[in-house]
Amino acid sequence: MSALTPYRIWEALDTSYSWLIDAFTYKPFLGDLRQLFESIRDSIHYLTDDERKKLTDAFDFMLIAHHGQTRLSWEQYALHPLKAMELLLELHPDITTLIACLLHDTIEDTPVTADDIRKKFGEDVAHICEWVSKVSSVRYAFNDSQLETLIKTFLAMSKDLRVIFVKFADRLHNIQTLDYHPREDKKKRIAMETMKIYVPLAKKLWLYSFAVMLENGAFRILEPWVYEEIISYCLHHFWDSPQAIADGKKMIEEVLINNHIPYIAIKGRLKSPYRIYEKLYKKYKIFDVSKVTDVLAFRVITDTVGHCYEILGHVHSKRRPLIHKIKDYISIPKFNNYQSLHTTVLGMFHYPVEIQIRTQNMEDIAEYGVAAHYIYSSGKDMQLNENQANRIKSLQQTVQEFAHTKWWFDSAKLKESLSTDFLTKSVFVYTPKGDIIELPQWSTVLDFAFRIHSDVWLWFKNAIVNGVIKPITYEVKTGDVISINTFSNKKSATAHWMDFLRTTNAKHKLQKYLRESHAEEYKQQWRTMLNEKLKERWLPLLGDDDDRFTQTMTDKELGDLYLGLAMKQHSPGDCIRPLYKDLLYQLRKKPVYIPQEKTTVTPVIVDFSHETTYRLCEECKPKPTQAIIAISSKRWVVIHTLSCPGVYLANKAKTLEAHRADHKPTPYIAKIILTIPPKTQTLVGLLGDLASLGRDSDELAITKEPDWSYQLSLTIILHNPNKISAITAKLHKLNDSYRIRVIFCEP
């Protein structure tokens, strides 16, 4: 018997599409809420009598708080937290989580305060409700609000993962009732937010049921005709799936009984519509549902690893396997510690059938992921495995690092750090001994050196990849066999390595080492450099009476500042601007001397420097009132208008910020126009690619052309136009078939 005995409201989650149709064909509940609550409460078998009383008190409190409020579905608002709690029971949550789920909207939507909840239900419940309210206050609209959602979500995770569990249940019930929303644009926005943020989070936390429900609910809104076509096809060809699953389970059971192999359970499932859609476009690049052969699959759960392999052998002796479909994830687990044997066999039905074989512990990890840590929080036998714990610890460390350095807080850099380790795809490489190391996509051999041993990176000399010496910039690929050569008598780690690291954990290790071993050196070096930049701008030097650095920062923060400068996390200008905005604005109005033999007398500031050698473009001849941009060359910088053909044709990596000395600098509006050839990408897949850029857009327009290609217009606001080159480079890496044009628009 499994140690996990959760209350599953999705009993038919895998056996047919009736669960999916019912879940998203929502009928308003207009009955007695108290009767519904008591029915749900009494079904939670693991609660004590005292906990049931606490849950009832929370329900009464919530009912009074939401009295008189209704939802767009005409139901009492109090039904929403009750339904969310019912969905949350999938994870077998503790009493604190159940109460917090019932109360999660009270702070945001009623006069109830966090202190009211704290006094009546305790600190933990109040904390979860507060953080759910903070996460819920942000809306995704193709701008920085998506970034804020990620930041606040991860900050909440750094405190208590139960915040995320409650938010998943809340979002799922909202997706179920989305048909009652009157505005089509808002429905699309909520669905897209779900697909781009909540589904990846559910997958990375290995919450299978929530991921399946959320992605199909969002998919139904974003691609309704494709969703309906997949449903229709499967209902037509697999209309008897419950009976087929029963027959298949009986066939497998006979094999096990005849060979005296013990088993815990045999389960069957029908692949969900979105997983079919995902496989069609990722593997086959076309929309033809008949191409998916493993719509029906079975899972055998046994007691030991030895029996897993024994079952595989007996199944193959009875049914012919497809050789290329046999996968051993027990010997070589997936990155999230997923373990199972997979095989696809012929002969059970008139179509191929997939069979998965695993132990109960493997099943619990696959089904519940990090939630298992909380399911067993009362001291029972299952805890987070080492791989899971390291990933969560790394994520928490990332958020905390940025939170503790809030004075120079850079939201774009935080998102980049989170995306690198948490929201991107992975590659799998090998040590010479055959150990598998998982790294984020685009990691370098230097990241590998940091990952394999606690301090081998300190002595890094070079890397040998597949028998060939590779430079420090080499990006590892799945299947690479990598060994690291080291110096025997000197440590080689330097701040310049920060340019070649992609993983957050490696950056943290390097930062810690540099902070401890080179603190005084960096302090002197960058104190001098910062003073030079302050002097250039006629600002107070460090240590002066009106120096704002020493007035607003502690010694530790100043030390972190120098370290950040050394590792190129920010420039001196990035540090100076937030503290001296008012003085810098006045400074820009002062006349600037520019040598006559090098350029014209028109006062222009390039990249916030008054001394850059430049000339005006002979073709566009910028007027004093026009927005301008700079293009660098070997001899000097050329100033153009934004509409100049020279800007359109120039290498965007050579663009620089420029503005008139008597004007405030204004952001640049860059429009990226993407043409995606037919059959190479889908709308949902494309949005996933855009999410992986680590950048939010301020406007996004997508049109589907008659030839089934997509035309996408993505508008981004940048303070530094040079950053557009990094974005387009990432797009090319994601898919080299994209045709990309960049236009800088007039403000």
The CATH code of the domain that includes 49 is 1.10.3210.10
Q: Are residues 56 and 181 in the same domain?
A: yes
Q: In the predicted model, is pLDDT for residue 435 greater than 60?
A: yes
Q: In the predicted model, is pLDDT for residue 254 greater than 70?
A: yes
- Give the 3-state secondary structure of residue 287: coil
pLDDT at 707: 64
pLDDT band at 5; cut points 50, 70, 90: very low
More confident residue, 697 or 672: 672
| Closest to 689 (Cα-Cα) out of 417, 453, 424 | 424
Q: Are residues 138 and 161 in the same domain?
A: yes
Q: In the predicted model, is pLDDT for residue 211 greater than 50?
A: yes
pLDDT at 553: 83
pLDDT band at 685; cut points 50, 70, 90: low
Q: Are residues 257 and 327 in the same domain?
A: yes
The highest-confidence range among 29-33, 396-400, 503-507, 582-586, by mean pLDDT, is 29-33
Q: Are residues 531 and 398 in the same domain?
A: no
Which residues neighbour 611 within 8 Å (Cβ) at sequence distance 6 or greater? Answer: 536, 592
Q: In the predicted model, is pLDDT for residue 589 greater than 60?
A: no
User: What are the CB-based long-range contacts (under 8 Å, 24+) for 428-434?
Assistant: 428/335, 428/478, 428/479, 429/476, 429/477, 429/478, 429/479, 429/480, 429/481, 429/482, 430/479, 430/480, 430/481, 430/482, 431/481, 431/482, 431/483, 432/481, 432/483
Q: Is residue 261 part of a domain?
A: yes
Paired strand residues for 344: 354
Q: Is residue 5 part of a domain?
A: no
Q: Are residues 475 and 453 in the same domain?
A: yes
pLDDT band at 117; cut points 50, 70, 90: very high
Q: In the predicted model, is pLDDT for residue 58 greater than 90?
A: yes
Distance CA 117, CA 103 (A): 8
* CA torsion angle 407 420 369 123 (round to 10): 10
Q: Are residues 709 and 737 in the same domain?
A: yes
pLDDT band at 308; cut points 50, 70, 90: very high
Triad 680, 683, 689: Cα angle to 5°: 75
The phi, psi pair for 3, rounded to 5°, reads -65, -25
pLDDT band at 557; cut points 50, 70, 90: confident
Q: Is residue 505 part of a domain?
A: yes
Of the residues 493, 515, 537, the one at which a domain ends? 515
Strand ranges inside 28-153, DSSP E: none
As a whole number, mean pLDDT of residues 647-651 equals 79
| Closest to 177 (Cα-Cα) out of 207, 217, 139 | 217
Distance CA 723, CA 719 (A): 9
Q: Is 278 a catalytic residue?
A: no
Q: Which of 497-506, 513-522, 655-664 has the lowest mean pLDDT?
A: 513-522
Q: Are residues 594 and 582 in the same domain?
A: no
Q: Which of 14-28, 271-285, 329-343, 700-714 has the lowest mean pLDDT?
A: 14-28
The phi, psi pair for 514, rounded to 5°, reads -65, -40
Q: Is residue 297 part of a domain?
A: yes
Which residues neighbour 36 within 8 Å (Cβ) at sequence distance 6 or greater? Answer: 29, 79, 82
pLDDT at 419: 47
pLDDT at 300: 94
Q: Is residue 43 part of a domain?
A: yes
More confident residue, 222 or 581: 222
Distance CA 403, CA 389 (A): 21
Q: Which of 69-83, 258-272, 515-529, 581-595 has the lowest mean pLDDT?
A: 581-595
Strand ranges inside 121-161, DSSP E: none
More confident residue, 82 or 456: 82
Paired strand residues for 346: 320
Which residues form the domain of 679?
Answer: 668-745
- CATH number of domain containing 704: 3.30.70.260
Choose the catalytic residue: 38, 51, 108, 557: 108
As a whole number, mean pLDDT of residues 335-342 equals 79
Q: In the predicted model, is pLDDT for residue 2 greater than 50?
A: no
pLDDT band at 586; cut points 50, 70, 90: low
* % of the chain exceeding 90 in pLDDT: 17
More confident residue, 52 or 392: 52
Q: In the predicted model, is pLDDT for residue 313 greater than 90?
A: yes
pLDDT at 369: 57
For the chain, the straight-line distance linking the first and the last C-alpha, in angstroms and rounded, comes to 65
pLDDT at 523: 67
Q: Is residue 1 part of a domain?
A: no
Of the residues 480, 515, 550, the one at which a domain ends? 515
Choose the catalytic residue: 51, 109, 124, 536: 109
Distance CA 683, CA 728 (A): 19
pLDDT band at 380; cut points 50, 70, 90: very low
Q: Are residues 436 and 557 in the same domain?
A: no
More confident residue, 19 or 528: 528
pLDDT band at 368; cut points 50, 70, 90: low
Report pLDDT digits (tens) over 72-114. Answer: 888 899 999 999 999 888 777 889 889 999 999 999 889 999 9
Phi-psi group of 596: left, alpha or beta (phi > 0 → left; psi -120 to 50 → alpha; rest → beta)? alpha
pLDDT at 381: 35
pTM over 0.75: no
Return the structure tokens found at 650: 């120039």
Q: Are residues 511 and 534 in the same domain?
A: no
As a whole number, mean pLDDT of residues 128-148 equals 64
* % of the chain exceeding 70 in pLDDT: 74
Distance CA 35, CA 463 (A): 67
Q: Are residues 431 and 338 in the same domain?
A: no
Report pLDDT digits (tens) over 287-303. Answer: 666 666 667 889 999 99
Q: Which of 240-254, 378-392, 507-521, 660-674 has the lowest mean pLDDT?
A: 378-392
Distance CA 37, CA 446 (A): 55
More confident residue, 328 or 14: 328
As a whole number, mean pLDDT of residues 595-612 equals 63
Report pLDDT digits (tens) over 187-198. Answer: 888 888 888 778
Q: What is the mean pLDDT of the chain?
A: 77
More confident residue, 522 or 249: 249
- CATH number of domain containing 332: 3.30.460.10
- CATH number of domain containing 465: 3.10.20.30
pLDDT at 19: 62
Q: Can you list the alpha helix ranges (DSSP code H) found in 369-456?
A: 371-375, 386-404, 411-418, 445-452
Q: Are residues 431 and 533 in the same domain?
A: no
The highest-confidence range among 83-92, 239-248, 693-702, 706-715, by mean pLDDT, is 83-92
Q: In the predicted model, is pLDDT for residue 12 greater than 50?
A: no
pLDDT at 384: 43
Which residues neighbour 517 within 8 Å (Cβ) at sequence distance 6 or greater? Answer: none
More confident residue, 303 or 413: 303
pLDDT band at 677; cut points 50, 70, 90: confident
Q: Are residues 486 and 524 in the same domain?
A: no
Token match 């100043």: residue?
Answer: 558
Q: Is residue 72 part of a domain?
A: yes
Q: In the predicted model, is pLDDT for residue 153 greater than 80?
A: no
More confident residue, 281 or 659: 659
The phi, psi pair for 443, rounded to 5°, reads -70, 155
Q: Is residue 467 part of a domain?
A: yes
Phi-psi group of 649: left, alpha or beta (phi > 0 → left; psi -120 to 50 → alpha; rest → beta)? alpha
Token match 């430049």: residue?
Answer: 614
- Residue 476 contacts residue 461 (beta carbons within 8 Å): no
Of the residues 629, 660, 691, the one at which a domain ends? 660
N residues, the chain? 747
Task: Kindly calculate the radius of gyration of the chain based on its CA atoms and give it in whole angstroms.
Answer: 29
The count of structural domains within the chain is 6
As a whole number, mean pLDDT of residues 267-287 equals 77
- Residue 579 contacts residue 548 (beta carbons within 8 Å): yes
Q: Is 179 a catalytic residue?
A: no
pLDDT at 497: 83
